[in-house]
Structure 1
Amino acid sequence: MKNLSKVSDGYLENKIKYLKLLAKQYPSISKASTEIINLEAILNLPKGTEHFITDIHGEYEPFVHVLKNGSGVIKRKIEELFSDTLDESEKKMLATLVYYPEEKIELITKQEDNIEDFYRKNIYRLIELCRYASSKYTRSKVRKLLPDDFKYIIEELLHEHMNSQHKKEYYKSIVETIIQIDRAKEFIIAISTAIQKLVVDKLHIIGDIYDRGPRPDIIVDKLIEHHCVDIQWGNHDILWMGAASGEKTCIANALRISARYANLDIIEDIYGINLLPLATFAMDMYKDDPCKDFMPKTNDQSFTSREKSLIAKMHKAISIIQFKLEGEVINRRPEFEMDHRLLLNNINYDNGTINIKGKEYKLKDTYFPTIDKNNPYKLTNEEKNIIDKLVISFKRSEKLQKHVSFLFSKGSIYLKANSNLLIHGCIPLNEDGSFMSMKIKGKEYSGKALMDKMEALSREGYFFESKSNQKQYGMDIMWYLWTGKCSSLFGKDDMTTFERYFINEKETHKENKNPYFKFREDESICEKIFEEFGLEVEGSHIINGHVPVESKKGESPIKANGKILVIDGGFSRAYQNKTGIAGYTLIYNSYSLQLVSHEPFNCAEEAIVNESDILSTTVVVEHKAERKRVRDTDNGIKIQEEIDDLKLLLMAYKKGLIKELQ
């Protein structure tokens, strides 16, 4: 903003149309001045806490717990506030009460003889904790985060001083009345929920909500309820987004993965998609085939051998359909450069072998009753009928469409947030460190422009009308983002699904990571990426997940001298033997950037009964010598722009260019 004393009348006159619109909101010098004072004060508040989570993969219980405890932030605040007044057991109980107020009160009610005394003590503690958690926000912001039922009461209690002689009885009477009219339980639930909201200002989900774990739908529902969240899509998310759009290959892949991990319940029971046609077809077509390489990966003892056999048959049936459908896309889109994935062409169906990259391999499964060896990518009539019905079911699933619409509204391929670049997988690079390029509709894209283009096309794939060329191309791009070499979400040169199912030799299973992963320790490459995305070299970070950090082998999640932070530490149980932990999260508050590693979480019931929290270890990645303020954030830049505009409005009022409304 120019110095106001140097702003010319001509400059003001050029802005007059906009300033008149602003004057409708601030119709007098008094109202504009008050807002400037308010916004200037906000700029000097401490920066809000940001919470980063990635690669949840349907593991809803540990996710919900980490969400409730703010990756240990609530426990730390309890320790800071009550270190000298509460013993360890009291602090553990208070933390559990904040995380699970309803369940904990139900348990306490059965154990405590004097429940009113319990309510009284803990209401006072929760008010004190809520006041402490809200201390760096404006009253207006705190008010918005308070539950409607108790908004006025909590606000009164937060801004009264217990030690004030004038207000002591007033304060006490509010608490006593809450207990006497039997609203203590509801009040504790309300204020605990408020505390959970207040400790984290912004939640960032850096991809892969879906697949492997049992209930991604619960995770999305929790995110929909969250007061402030953004999402960077992962490859598993874009797969489900493509499936919801009606893209056939994405539907087949989503079903295959759900069958692989025995999670078909999410398809049928949660999203209401009818799998009976697929099950009937699989039982008929593979009735004498043991499908041993398609048995589901599960430790759930509730599955009978008959159920596992049916899932295996469905798994194989949808896999073959997937390979055929992928062939259609590859042939339709030569710019995807994926001809080497047309493996069904390379099978010798008479002797049970396949030629890959000039080498012959024996297939471990040669039963292909639905493949025409002369036209291997042609769907049978039954397969075509099944996939057509599935497309209709996916597009008509009200809950799935609600969830995917939310992913589009709150999500993106990447996000710049307070000097951090948030991406799920990688920035696609060539071997020499240059940005990988791809030709889309005749035009070459690379780096940021490529990611922007792919996001725009994905949105067209979901939102454009059915049967339009734009929609089909956008849907094909969503599948490419799941599996293509230039995809920032995938980050590999190949997805060797067929080889893993049908060939024993592990050399064929190899999926080469994008050179980005080799360059993750190279600070100069990081600086090049910062420049590409318009970020300052000093103080900026790349935060991503996607590839689990193998902590038990000594791998560090901190790369390139702190410029890259990889926070996929194994939320998914399927990865925990490999990683040795149960996930990393990241906390960025006004003082520091903190990396938190978590031990496996058993279940919410144990946390409630035994008051056990996730065991977490915090490492400070960066500590700020000077506390960051709101003015140092992206939001601060926007607020400063508002202040500058309001100051111009004041000048316009004083010069008579705009008249005050009385």
Structure 2
Amino acid sequence: MKLSKEELSYYKLLARSYRTIQAASTEIINLSAILNLPKGTEHFMSDIHGEYDSFIHIVNNASGVVKRKINDVFGDTISQKDKSELATLIFYPKEKLKVIEHEHEDEMQDWYKVTLFRLVEVCRNASSKYTRSKVRKALPNDFAYVIEELLHEQENAPNKQDYYNGIIDTIIRINRADNFVMAISELIRSLVIDHLHIVGDIFDRGPEPDRIIDTLMTFKSVDIQWGNHDILWMGAAMGCTGCISNVLRISARYDNLSIIEENYGINLMPLATFAMETYENDLCEVFAPKEEASADNSPQQQLLIRQMHKAISVIQFKIESAIIKRNPWYQMEDRLLLDKIHYEQGTIKIGGKNYELKDNKWPTIDPENPHELTKDEKKLMERLQHSFLNSEKLQKHLHYLYEVGNMHLVFNNNLLYHGCIPMTRNGNFQRMKIFDKSYNGKALILKLEKIVRKAFSNHLKSTPNSYELDFLWYLWAGPVSPLFGKKKMATFERYLLSDKTTHHEENNPYFALRDEEETCNKILTDFGIDPKQGHIVNGHTPVKRKKGENPVKGNGKLIVIDGGLAKPYQNITGIAGYTLIYNSYGLTLASHKPFQSRKKAIIENADISTTKLMLERNNVRKRVGDTDVGNELKEQIHDLERLLEAYREGIIKEQPKRL
């Protein structure tokens, strides 16, 4: 055996962890055994858009996997009602226990005894594909020893039956049964999803994106591919005024300003005061929120929201104009619209055609210099910027999104990204010029991620750079942004022009080309994935299921998993979201009906109605050895085998610990 100087140094470091032949041999045996276990279940979700209740229910039931486990364990030995109640208990243990205690007040001791044994059986089934070591690491601290003992109960060991019964009886007798139920339910939920992928767009539209991120932060194994709405909030958290104005406008549009003020503690009083004073005699009817969103507000509240909505929209148009002007390589001059308005006539000229504006009251716009913020608007944005930068919760979430997030991810031969890989009509990757160099395909994605991470690095050092911050806005609305995927964002036209032909936002050719297997294979190859093995998992564009659109594209090579989890999209999709499940048996796509309510789920055991479609079945069940983790383990095994050889040849001396 020959080792270079660098190799010898490496193996001497490795020897500190495995000090003897026995220690290295034991680890080789352990790792080799793990390679033969079934691969863990990966769960894919996208476009959650603040819908916490639907998100948490789908995660808790693992798209129906928990109920399948219950059926596998109990078959016909218990009633369907008992199965549903057991499933709901696993989904919402704390809330469901209160309902059960009310319903079974006089017989709780018997209920506890039966239920605790049933939960242990389900947990044993869920943990069967993992090593004891992995399960042990997932055990809740309070009941780690107890649960481990119960999970490894042997049915053919009658001498220990009293021992196991004694554990359950004692848990009940000392009033720890509720805590045990909550602990083992959490363990079951963590075991049925080995790894969670979020393919973009946690923010906007729905009311609780912050709770979604707080929940994700409790997961041991999760990744996020940034969506255009995520990058918008990330930019706002770093002080990009173009992003801040868009975040506020969208929140006003969906009557979700409480997210800003209550959830993230950002003071909106300056915006409210400015809006009331500036638009005191303006009903701002064009800027009414979505009708269904504003139904619960008083007339005074509705007026204030409309005024705030108009105020921040005008500011947004001005700020975006400044960004476009100082970044000519964006090639977005067609979005400079305020200087195209004939203010006396109340019209605007776009593409050689005049259109009448639905609103022509612009007290803060100087027709001679329409893109310039007034002094009061500048002061307002400075105060709002300060609030975003100093929101402790928002900054914590920003750090998390950088920690687990990416522009794209290659994971077990699947390529994950939110929006698109920009392309031209002839099927080539579209180039984007950034300063003096052009990028396309994977190289463009990597370059853009580098810019995003540089912006965060500057943020941490309190040295913001307008170049990187402007690019965060570009990723939200730019014509070659892989997160946006459209030629333009027609916000101005949608708000202010009645002619709907002006509202059209032309998709990047990618969205038509992805139907072709050749396109998907080209993308996979560019990202270093064998097209015969890989798939693309995409979000961003809601699949219009009720119009017959298929979420599976490119002869099975690409799967779109945006099925309308966000309520505003459900009229378009006809369903309420897709999830993708990738386990040892293959790929399964689950489509979900709308979630009724958390209360109904807890009281009536009402679950989301889910339909599953097996997209691809493995001829041979996939093992850990077939995954990225397996490849890492194989490298570790190789290194340990080399260390073993070095021990046996005397190149490195064993160092057993001395008493």
TM norm structure 1: 0.97
Distance 1:14 1:575 in 2: 57
Q: Which amino acid aligns with 1:189?
A: M
Distance 1:627 1:240 in 2: 41
Find out whether 1:257 has 2:272 as its counterpart. no
CA deviation vs aligned residue, 1:149-169 (integer Å, no higher than 9, x gap): 001100010011244212111
Residue 539 (structure 1) shift: 2.4
Please give the residue correspondences for 1:270-419 in structure 2 after superposition, counting only pairs within 5 Å: 270-300=263-293, 301-419=295-413
Find out whether 1:68 has 2:60 as its counterpart. yes
Distance 1:195 1:63 in 2: 18
**Does the aligned pair in 2 maintain the 1:593–1:623 contact within 8 Å?**
yes
Q: Which amino acid aligns with 1:140?
A: S
**Does the aligned pair in 2 maintain the 1:242–1:251 contact within 8 Å?**
yes
Residue 14 (structure 1) shift: 4.7
CA deviation vs aligned residue, 1:58-112 (integer Å, no higher than 9, x gap): 0110101001000111011111111131111111111011101111111111111
Find out whether 1:100 has 2:100 as its counterpart. no
Distance 2:449 2:137 in 1: 32
Query: In 2 relative to 1, CA 85–429 (structure 1 residues): closer, same or farther, beyond 3 Å?
Result: same
Which residue pairs with 2:102 in the alignment? Answer: 110
Find out whether 1:553 has 2:551 as its counterpart. no
**Does the aligned pair in 2 maintain the 1:460–1:471 contact within 8 Å?**
no
Which residue pairs with 1:213 in the alignment? Answer: 206
Distance 2:159 2:570 in 1: 57
**Does the aligned pair in 2 maintain the 1:460–1:470 contact within 8 Å?**
no
1:49 to 31, 34, 41: 41
CA deviation vs aligned residue, 1:209-260 (integer Å, no higher than 9, x gap): 0000011111010001112110001000000000000000000000000000
**Does the aligned pair in 2 maintain the 1:231–1:410 contact within 8 Å?**
yes
**SS of residue matched to 1:166:** helix
**SS of residue matched to 2:479:** coil
CA deviation vs aligned residue, 1:144-195 (integer Å, no higher than 9, x gap): 1111100110001001124421211111100110011111111011000000
Residue 466 (structure 1) shift: 8.1
**SS of residue matched to 1:659:** coil
Which residue pairs with 1:635 in the alignment? Answer: 629
**SS of residue matched to 1:52:** strand
Please give the residue correspondences for 1:195-234 in structure 2 after superposition, counting only pairs within 5 Å: 195-234=188-227
Query: In 2 relative to 1, CA 353–137 (structure 1 residues): closer, same or farther, beyond 3 Å?
Result: same
**Does the aligned pair in 1 maintain the 2:476–2:484 contact within 8 Å?**
yes
Distance 1:106 1:640 in 2: 48
Residue 379 (structure 1) shift: 0.5
Which residue pairs with 1:651 in the alignment? Answer: 645
Residue 302 (structure 1) shift: 2.4
Which residue pairs with 1:5 in the alignment? Answer: none
Find out whether 1:518 has 2:481 as its counterpart. no
Residue 441 (structure 1) shift: 2.8
**Does the aligned pair in 2 maintain the 1:462–1:475 contact within 8 Å?**
no
**SS of residue matched to 2:514:** helix
Structure 1 unpaired stretches of 5+? 1-7
Distance 1:251 1:614 in 2: 35
1:192 to 177, 185, 194: 185
Distance 2:453 2:302 in 1: 37
Distance 1:345 1:491 in 2: 26
Residue 346 (structure 1) shift: 0.9
**SS of residue matched to 1:521:** coil
Please give the residue correspondences for 1:443-592 in structure 2 after superposition, counting only pairs within 5 Å: 443-465=437-459, 471-592=465-586
**Does the aligned pair in 1 maintain the 2:577–2:593 contact within 8 Å?**
yes
**Does the aligned pair in 1 maintain the 2:238–2:459 contact within 8 Å?**
no
Which residue pairs with 1:4 in the alignment? Answer: none
Distance 2:460 2:627 in 1: 41
Query: In 2 relative to 1, CA 465–545 (structure 1 residues): closer, same or farther, beyond 3 Å?
Result: closer
Distance 2:596 2:162 in 1: 44
Residue 462 (structure 1) shift: 2.2
Residue 470 (structure 1) shift: 6.8
Distance 2:509 2:251 in 1: 30
Distance 1:124 1:401 in 2: 43
Distance 1:462 1:341 in 2: 27
452-461 or 397-406: which moved more?
Answer: 452-461
Distance 1:111 1:518 in 2: 55
Please give the residue correspondences for 1:5-44 in structure 2 after superposition, counting only pairs within 5 Å: 8-9=1-2, 11=3, 13-44=5-36
Aligned length: 654
**Does the aligned pair in 1 maintain the 2:124–2:151 contact within 8 Å?**
yes
Residue 656 (structure 1) shift: 1.5
Find out whether 1:125 has 2:118 as its counterpart. yes
Distance 2:572 2:298 in 1: 28
Q: Which amino acid aligns with 1:101?
A: P
Distance 1:32 1:109 in 2: 52
Residue 653 (structure 1) shift: 1.2
Which residue pairs with 1:3 in the alignment? Answer: none
Residue 350 (structure 1) shift: 1.8
Q: Which amino acid aligns with 1:125?
A: R
Query: In 2 relative to 1, CA 486–469 (structure 1 residues): closer, same or farther, beyond 3 Å?
Result: farther
**Does the aligned pair in 2 maintain the 1:420–1:541 contact within 8 Å?**
yes
Find out whether 1:84 has 2:76 as its counterpart. yes
**SS of residue matched to 2:541:** coil
**Does the aligned pair in 1 maintain the 2:41–2:194 contact within 8 Å?**
yes
**Does the aligned pair in 2 maintain the 1:12–1:652 contact within 8 Å?**
no
1:183 to 176, 196, 199: 176
**Does the aligned pair in 2 maintain the 1:567–1:583 contact within 8 Å?**
yes
**Does the aligned pair in 2 maintain the 1:97–1:104 contact within 8 Å?**
yes
Query: What is the root-mean-square deviation in Å for CA atoms of aligned residues?
Result: 1.2
Residue 287 (structure 1) shift: 1.3
Find out whether 1:157 has 2:150 as its counterpart. yes
Distance 1:465 1:213 in 2: 28
Query: In 2 relative to 1, CA 248–42 (structure 1 residues): closer, same or farther, beyond 3 Å?
Result: same
Distance 2:479 2:415 in 1: 21
Residue 298 (structure 1) shift: 4.5
